[in-house]
Structure 1
């Protein structure tokens, strides 16, 4: 008798996240990646990445084996479409509630925007979303959102009550916010937070770099950057929002720089230059960013423009901070003047990526 995909020595569907189970259930019904993406309201690239991860985690050979597995474990039933099984209160399309923090705070349920109330209430939700499922006490939430201020004693329960109503899962009384013994937290796998998704993509890009796949790393970096919709946590008050704005903005700049480094190694100088010019205009004191732009211009055959970037950065640093250019900027300028390849930092192997300057 042939062995099915769900053999006893293979990991069970319990190792999958909620969204991965939903993808597997849809694949089990015979849907193509584009059809799964439409059914689950996900980008097609995300569906492809999830399916690849599912095959790896379950030890499945290919899509056909995944279809067999979905039926064997009960995620899919012939003629009835995907089943959620015991996945919990959310819909079969994965997390019904999506929270976006990489811009003005917003939340949607099944694609429809939700009313999150005023900014302090939004800041409470942001603190919970940034805690990655960890329980936050009332004291922690007060410190994160109000700092040294002293709001009314019951303000946290009131705000959480309002948010729980706004973030109900469909027509059920269940919400993505649950009350734990010591405070409040988001229900695991019941909500999709764009910051967590961004970090997943960044990790994937790092793995692609280490595997010697710069094109894949650039693609994943680009997807992560697309999640940003402006200034992170725009307008939110409180110490946590202020710190996270700085951290996430720095994350965005580093991500854009790593993407540009990958483009340079692929010979895509022109693609990198346009984005780097915009970023350096917005962040004129970021020296690693200026150095990357200098390399891109030099490798594109624009040595004079590359040196002009250095001169502009030097003037701004002197006028606004009263400091000279960093060693990184000086070294990049020196290599350009000598006609050497200014190879950038990163996990890439310089021996396999060095290119001569275009004539």
Structure 2
């Protein structure tokens, strides 16, 4: 049975009749499509409705079967993703297009958004992010990183001299103009409602009127309109893919006698830095890897040898330590606040190496440690619901693979450590939710986590318990079979004792062992 759909204020409202999402994969590389098939699995609610090796094949594929989302690569040999998306938009009603792109595809990405794509996923994103993106787009939402979108749309701003000043005077009400500006800044309906002190229902109503008055098809088109007409500028982008503030206080960094906007770093995804609300250009990936090696060891002296080993590993640069001096000089220039008196900025030199001055600098990894501690304290005090909320806040700090794309042994080691912390947080949250009787949301969340961590036996055991508690005994046993087959196939080992005992308890309906007596 297929789902019923209705469109309202640019959103697709999905009926409850069926949870499956039918996906059309469009990529000219079979290996890439194979990888996408492994991520978008039937067990997680996806059906690969068809595959195309070129953009020219898309119309025929859509005519042959029903599709909820088109996942479209932008670089293809014949008809690329931009042209294929543009043709779909001109053909009338069509499924939403989610573009696949890379960090160096800014021009293509700007073209894809203007052609009608409702979102994009960077190719080095985690599998979990791809799953979330497809689900969001299927539900009618845009999937955009506000900071990246701001950069590409500003860099490749479409000339529109006849409309550069924005909508004609009087076309939009003052509140509708505020809503459009907030959409361009990347705010959600809830954030817009909070900032304008109105309800989310009012926000959605205003968006519907904005779309109708400006002839816009959806939220993504509104974002593009806001940038192309100067309604939003890059410095106004107030929200990135990390949906929660990194710290609650707002310290002021002082350089000499000059008060400077705070410096903020994010490592729980691609490495990013902001001075106030302005995102900074951190340069090439090796330079970013050097910065990460200092930032994540704040207030410690890291020797030249340690930096060379951590960033270049077994392939040291031919110029040796000279490249460190060059990169540090560039980073100091990038990170220095306007009017700052010290040439060293936040990167200081000692006799043996470099150190990053961490005081008054805000970092998401620091906030992660703080919230994790809050979750543990709340659990110890018996405040389980509060502990779940803290775990949610901590998990929301992640926005992709930590230190995504950064080379070198140091970044690789930190990436593994942070991914492990994320998995442990997911496990802690699931255990707390089971104790609170929140079986449905536990099962849904664990299914998504296991999709990208298929060998995690403790997570599989928790998922089996959640499904059993919902009365889905067969589904719980299917989880065991799936991870058993995965472990045998990938590592030639059988599941461990905990998972085997969980399976046995499900078979004999042992509520006591499963924790539901």
Q: 1:100 to 1:45 in 2, by over 3 A?
A: closer
Aligned equivalent of 2:475, options 295, 305, 322? 305
Residue in structure 1 matched with residue 324 of structure 2 by the alignment: 156
Q: Secondary structure of 2:299's match?
A: coil
Residue in structure 2 matched with residue 189 of structure 1 by the alignment: 359
1:339 is displaced (CA, Å) by 2.0
Residue in structure 1 matched with residue 336 of structure 2 by the alignment: 168
Residue in structure 1 matched with residue 286 of structure 2 by the alignment: 120
Q: 1:300 to 1:137 in 2, by over 3 A?
A: same
Aligned 8 A contact 2:251 2:360 in 1: no
Residue in structure 2 matched with residue 246 of structure 1 by the alignment: 416
Show structure 1 runs of 5+ residues with no match: 1-33, 51-81, 345-353
Q: 1:162 to 1:327 in 2, by over 3 A?
A: same
Matches within 5 A, 1:141-290: 141-151=307-317, 152-153=319-320, 154-174=322-342, 175-290=345-460
1:44 is displaced (CA, Å) by 7.7
Q: 1:195 to 1:46 in 2, by over 3 A?
A: closer
1:283 is displaced (CA, Å) by 1.3
Residue in structure 2 matched with residue 137 of structure 1 by the alignment: 303
Q: 1:232 to 1:297 in 2, by over 3 A?
A: same
Aligned 8 A contact 1:136 1:184 in 2: yes
1:327 is displaced (CA, Å) by 0.6
1:169 is displaced (CA, Å) by 2.7
CA distance in structure 1 between the aligned counterparts of 2:370 and 2:431, rounded to whole angstroms: 20
User: Of Structure 1 and Structure 2, which has the larger fraction of its residues in helix?
Assistant: 1
Query: Which stretches of structure 1, 4 residues or longer, exceed 6 Å deviation after superposition?
Result: 90-95
Aligned 8 A contact 1:90 1:96 in 2: no
The TM-score, its normalising length taken from structure 2, stands at 0.49
CA distance in structure 1 between the aligned counterparts of 2:260 and 2:457, rounded to whole angstroms: 41
Aligned 8 A contact 2:309 2:316 in 1: no
CA distance in structure 1 between the aligned counterparts of 2:468 and 2:354, rounded to whole angstroms: 53
Q: 1:329 to 1:94 in 2, by over 3 A?
A: farther
- 1:164-209 Cα offsets, whole Å, 9 max, x none, are 1111134314422222343222213232121121111111111111
CA distance in structure 2 between the aligned counterparts of 1:301 and 1:92, rounded to whole angstroms: 63
Q: What is the Cα-based RMSD across aligned positions, in Å?
A: 2.9
The number of residues matched between the two structures is: 275
1:46 is displaced (CA, Å) by 5.2
Q: 1:303 to 1:94 in 2, by over 3 A?
A: farther
Aligned 8 A contact 1:95 1:192 in 2: no
Aligned 8 A contact 1:198 1:224 in 2: yes
CA distance in structure 2 between the aligned counterparts of 1:298 and 1:205, rounded to whole angstroms: 26
Aligned equivalent of 1:294, options 445, 461, 464? 464
Aligned 8 A contact 2:254 2:260 in 1: no
